[in-house]
A and B are shown apart, each in its own frame.
Chain A
Amino acid sequence: MVPLSYYVIVSTVMFVVGLIGVLVRKNFLIILYAIELMLNAANINLVAFSRYYQSVNGQIISLFIITIAAAEAAIGLAIIIVLFRKKATTNVDEINLLKW
């Protein structure tokens, strides 16, 4: 059996990749993709611990995370469509109406 720490390392690296994606990308849509990556990393972690503790709780919380991610995607895409209608851009640097 693959050791538990391997899965945790994979999940950590994927989470950090998503974090860097949120920080460096300018496109709002790609930032949402990076958030999905971070949620997926959390899912890997939960399922791995659920497997190694022989308990199904982690998988259920992972199921809830998938549901919340779907709701988050719907809301985020609606916000993107509204912003694009107003400003014709998805660049987060140009969306600074609430900055100061």
Chain B
Amino acid sequence: MAQLLFFLYFAGMGLFSSVLTIGLRNPVYCTIALLSTFIHVAGLFVLLNAEFLAAIQIIIYAGAVLILYLFVLMLLNLKSTEPVVHRQLWIALFFGVVILAEILVALFKTPMLEGTTAANAVPLAMGNTEAIGLSLFNEYLLPFELVGIILLGGIIGALVLAKQPRPESSKTGGNGTHALEVPLPPSGNGQIGADVREESRSALHKVGSA
């Protein structure tokens, strides 16, 4: 009974904050709602006897990935005045509900096989983290190493993508396309360069929105 109450709380709050994540106007509030979603999903993992994954969910997702998102969000200085939703809102909502109904109908037609156990069932007394570690380094050793290679590729890709295009001019202009159009004074570069950059960016934004 208590388990059902906890399930209802975590599931309800998780779904509610996931709706807030895609519904709120300010991107910072969206990030906070996504954080709430992750924490409640971690609660669901605890209810499912997956304590290790719950800890990973909070440490990696809420601690690392979301903070990375928040940093980039703070860097970008987004304007929140433009309309946030697409003009295809109603079509998207309609087809989303249709897909939801389809999946639920397919779900209720399927026998759920409750109570059956897999061939390599792990006794619960063993401890969740120990079981995951043993399986990860025995059966899943090759995927584990492959995931390491994928992470390395991700690091290199992110570095190559986000590198400044002309690193030698990063002191004065350093802003990619604008540095070509606006000649910057060679001395006194700090404040003036920032002003010119800001001007050209706002002019660019005006052109883009017109």
Contacts and interface: CB of A to CB of B under 8 A. Distances in A.
Contact of A32 (B69, B121, B177): B69
B151 A73 contact: no
Given A9-B104, A69-B65, A44 B72 contact: no
Interface string A1-14: 11111111110111
A64 B44 CA distance: 18
Contacts of B131: 56
Contacts of B183: none
Contacts of B132: 56, 59-60, 63
B154 A75 contact: yes
B196 interface: no
A24 interface: yes
B208 A10 contact: no
Interface residues of B, number: 91
A67 to B, nearest CB: 5
A25 B84 contact: yes
Nearest to A77: B72
A27 B84 contact: yes
Q: Is the interface of A mostly helix, strand, loop or mixed?
A: helix
Given A10-B11, A17-B22, A66-B61, A40 B151 contact: no
Interface of B: 3-4, 7, 11, 14-15, 18-19, 21-22, 27, 30-31, 34, 37-38, 41, 44-45, 47-50, 52-53, 56-57, 60-61, 64-65, 68-69, 72-73, 75-76, 78, 82-86, 88-89, 92-93, 95-97, 99-100, 103-104, 107-108, 112, 114, 116-118, 120-122, 124, 128, 131-132, 135-136, 139-140, 143, 147, 150-151, 153-155, 157-159, 161-162, 175-177, 201, 204-205, 208
Given A33-B31, A71-B154, 11 more contacts: A3-B114, A8-B107, A10-B11, A16-B97, A23-B88, A40-B41, A40-B61, A54-B121, A59-B52, A70-B151, A77-B158
